[in-house]
Structure 1
Amino acid sequence: MKRLILLRHAKTEPLTDAVSDFERKLKKRGIVDANLVAEDLKKRSYLPELIISSPAKRAIQTAGVCAAVFNIPESEIMEERFVYDGDTTARMVAAIAGLAGEYNTVMVVGHNPDVATLSMQLSGKDYFHFPTCAAAVISFAVADWDE
């Protein structure tokens, strides 16, 4: 059994001329929300061994808050540019399929519309509302990620 947790980054500062989209930070509310979502996932025994994150500051901060709750060392947060660049969901699926079999539960921290699109694609649902810091947990009855 493999489990994928798709998480949209938490609430951020607004986009301004002074700060690029890539450098936007979490608001205090975003930090609180990320902690609450991670605690809820932990309570439900959804514990990732690896976090893949967009390198955007808001996603890395969200991943860091989650990693602290899950007791994951920061070395187990992989920054992947394709998660930020809005590459096709096919690129995300290919990256997930290439994961080592030792990881049973993996979290991807990214952005909309990509996390919503991937959630719909993998779950077979027609619509997924994905507000900031929303999570989708999708389980696969497979032994390896590439199945």
Structure 2
Amino acid sequence: MKKLFLFRHAQTEGYSFSNPDSKRKLTEKGIQDAMKLGQFLYKENFEVDKIVSSIAIRAQTTARLLADEMKYPPSKIQIEEDLYQCSETDLFHFINQIEDDSINNLFLVNHNPAVSALIYLLTEKEYGFLSPCSLVIFSFDVENWAEIIRGSGMIEEIRVPETDFEVSTI
């Protein structure tokens, strides 16, 4: 059994010519939301085997705050340049190429529209767009990540800041 914890990065400051997209930082609300989500996950004893983030500052900061709250060493966060401005297909291929079968609980922090589109690719069900700092937990009845195919994911739960990260199921 493999579990994918798919996160959209937390709320960020706006884009401007003096503040390029990849350098945008989290707002105070974004920082608080990411910390709160990490605390919830820690209290509920979710295990994390690997955290992967895009190279964008907002995704890295979200990943680091989650790691801190879950007592996961931030130095072990894997930063992937190819995940910045990628498509849902790119994210899907990245997941399929994980060769370490000891990773059962993968935390992936990335961006819309790719994360929201990945939900459809993995479940073949419409969900809509994830708001900042949202989490979707998928389970896959497979032994390794390469076995995951389109439509094979089951959503176990979704957590969004608008509901104070209360569990909602689909």
Q: Aligned ranges for residues 98-117 of structure 1 at < 5 Å? A: 98-99=97-98, 100-117=100-117
In structure 1, the residue matched to 2:44 is 44
Q: Which has the higher contact order (CA 8 A, sep 6+)?
A: 1
Secondary structure of the residue aligned to 2:103 is coil
What CA distance in whole angstroms lies between the structure 1 residues aligned with 2:45 and 2:96? 23
In structure 1, the residue matched to 2:64 is 64
Query: Is the contact made by 1:49 and 1:76 (CA closer than 8 Å) also made in structure 2?
Result: no
Query: Normalising by structure 2, what TM-score?
Result: 0.80
Query: Normalising by structure 1, what TM-score?
Result: 0.92
Alpha-carbon offset, residue 93 of structure 1: 1.6
**Root mean square deviation of aligned Cα:** 1.3
Alpha-carbon offset, residue 24 of structure 1: 0.6
In structure 2, the residue matched to 1:144 is 144
Q: Which letter maps to 1:111?
A: H
Query: Is the contact made by 1:50 and 1:77 (CA closer than 8 Å) also made in structure 2?
Result: yes
Alpha-carbon offset, residue 141 of structure 1: 1.0
Alpha-carbon offset, residue 128 of structure 1: 2.9
Q: Over residues 35-57 of structure 1, what are the superposed CA-to-partner deviations in whole Å (9 max), with x where a residue is unaligned?
A: 11122223333322111101100
What CA distance in whole angstroms lies between the structure 1 residues aligned with 2:122 and 2:94? 14
Query: Is the contact made by 2:4 and 2:138 (CA closer than 8 Å) also made in structure 1?
Result: yes
In structure 2, the residue matched to 1:93 is 92
For structure 1, which segment, 55-64 or 96-105, has the greater mean C-alpha deviation from structure 2 after superposition?
Answer: 96-105
What CA distance in whole angstroms lies between the structure 1 residues aligned with 2:38 and 2:81? 23
What CA distance in whole angstroms lies between the structure 2 residues aligned with 1:107 and 1:67? 10
For structure 1, which segment, 77-86 or 112-121, has the greater mean C-alpha deviation from structure 2 after superposition?
Answer: 77-86
What CA distance in whole angstroms lies between the structure 2 residues aligned with 1:135 and 1:51? 13
Q: Which letter maps to 1:52?
A: V
The total of aligned residue pairs comes to 146
Q: Aligned ranges for residues 11-50 of structure 1 at < 5 Å? A: 11-50=11-50
Q: Over residues 108-140 of structure 1, what are the superposed CA-to-partner deviations in whole Å (9 max), with x where a residue is unaligned?
A: 101000000001211221123300001100001
Alpha-carbon offset, residue 3 of structure 1: 0.3
The percentage of aligned residue pairs carrying the same residue is 34
Q: Over residues 17-71 of structure 1, what are the superposed CA-to-partner deviations in whole Å (9 max), with x where a residue is unaligned?
A: 2211110101111110001112222333332211110110010000000011121
